[in-house]
Amino acid sequence: MGRRMKAGTRIVALEEIKGVLPSIDLLTAMERGFAAYSNGRAVVPPVGELLLEAGDVHIKYGYIRDEPYYVVKIASGFYGNGALGLPSSNGLMLLFSQQTGQLQCALLDEGYLTDIRTGAAGAIAARHLAPRWVQRIGIVGTGNQARHQLRFLHDLMPCPVLVWGRGQEQLDAYVADMADFDFQIETTTYAADILKNCNLVVTTTPSFEPLLFAADLRPGTHITAVGSDTAQKHELEPAILGRADLVVADSIKQCLARGEIYQALKAGTIEESDLVELGNIINGHYPGRSADDQITVADLTGVAVQDIKIAEAVYQALVARQ
């Protein structure tokens, strides 16, 4: 299984990682991570961050008490890489023993596991917060995460889809890439069409200014925002969160300093007391959607427990194949 740096330590390349992912129940693993976080069992320091001119780099790390490993993850996004023929994401995950500090496994995932765990988190948010009847899914963006979000929603709600992109060429490529899934996909270059026509919306871009506005928001809509993972990015007008009946954070502490919640707090459209943590909904400590006409927003900035759980699950699957 992979290469070895020294006794007991494995280096695993992306192809081998992809080979074991189908055997893993990722949604259950992610839910356990969020639940542990909101129960106070996770130790997750503040995100390390490098904001470069060409892209951004995040360092997330932590552990869950009474579990075997701690994880350090480095992931980057360089959004001009497409013009160079390179993927926009890169990175790796390092899995260490909590008992000895020994590096058990280096997962050279090239950012893929970060993309996958984010897609799984979007499906979890939809499972707990989306309306019972989803008329149409709206996807904002045409990049890798826009693809992963829709793929994870496939088994939950295979219904019509409307995708927004900045150009028709990107939209056509997106539709072609999703052809293996039985979605009826339409496209638009007008972002306002998304809220006007969809009641489950996922935003996936690295935008630094709002793309969706409260004037277009209809009762009964759920929005999962995953693109805004720094203090500078945001895709939603803060008034959208102000109109929401339920605003959910993957990590309240983290969302006070980044993401859509941070922008809305700064604008004064919500207060910290309005926030609910996703893990507390999973734990049953707080209800999710309770009425069809509610407006709900989930701000997923990405929490280290997701990286801990997916790295652990991949490592255990690899060991099981030995």
Q: How many CB atoms lie within 10 A of CB 67?
A: 15
Q: Residue 1 has what pLDDT?
A: 47
Q: Residue 322 has what pLDDT?
A: 75
Q: How many CB atoms lie within 10 A of CB 133?
A: 11
Domain positions in the chain are 3-113+305-320, 128-303
Q: What share of the chain in percent tops pLDDT 90? A: 87
Residue 181 has pLDDT above 90, yes or no: no
pTM: predicted TM-score of the whole model, two decimal places: 0.91
Tell me: the pLDDT tens digits for 193-214? 999 999 999 999 999 999 999 9
Mean pLDDT of 154-175: 93
* Average pLDDT along the chain: 94
Mean pLDDT of 207-234: 95
Q: Which CATH superfamily includes the segment(s) 128-303?
A: NAD(P)-binding Rossmann-like Domain (3.40.50.720)
The fold of 3-113+305-320 is ornithine cyclodeaminase, domain 1 (3.30.1780)
Q: Residue 94 has what pLDDT?
A: 98
Q: In degrees rounded to 5, what are phi and psi of residue 277?
A: -90, 140
Residue 156 has pLDDT above 90, yes or no: no
DSSP-based three-state secondary structure for 261: helix
Q: What crossing angle do the helices spanning 112-129 and 26-38 adopt, rounded to 10°? A: 80
**Distance (Å, whole) CA 149 – CA 201:** 10
Tell me: the pLDDT tens digits for 39-78? 999 999 999 989 999 999 999 999 999 999 999 999 998 9
**Distance (Å, whole) CA 158 – CA 134:** 9
Tell me: the pLDDT tens digits for 78-92? 988 988 988 888 999
Tell me: the pLDDT tens digits for 247-266? 999 999 999 999 999 999 99
**Distance (Å, whole) CA 201 – CA 74:** 28
Q: Residue 236 has what pLDDT?
A: 98
Residues 6+ apart with CB under 8 A from 302: 58, 60, 114, 118, 121, 226, 229, 250
Mean pLDDT of 138-148: 95
Tell me: the pLDDT tens digits for 102-135? 999 999 999 999 999 999 999 999 999 999 999 9
Helix (H) or strand (E) holding 71: strand 69-77
Q: Residue 230 has what pLDDT?
A: 85
Cβ–Cβ under 8 Å, residues 281 and 8: no
Tell me: the pLDDT tens digits for 291-304? 999 999 999 999 99
Query: Same CATH topology for 3-113+305-320 and 128-303?
Result: no
Of the two residues 174 and 85, the one the predictor is more confident about is 174
**Distance (Å, whole) CA 262 – CA 41:** 24
Confidence of residue 176 (pLDDT cuts 50, 70, 90): very high
Q: Residue 5 has what pLDDT?
A: 43
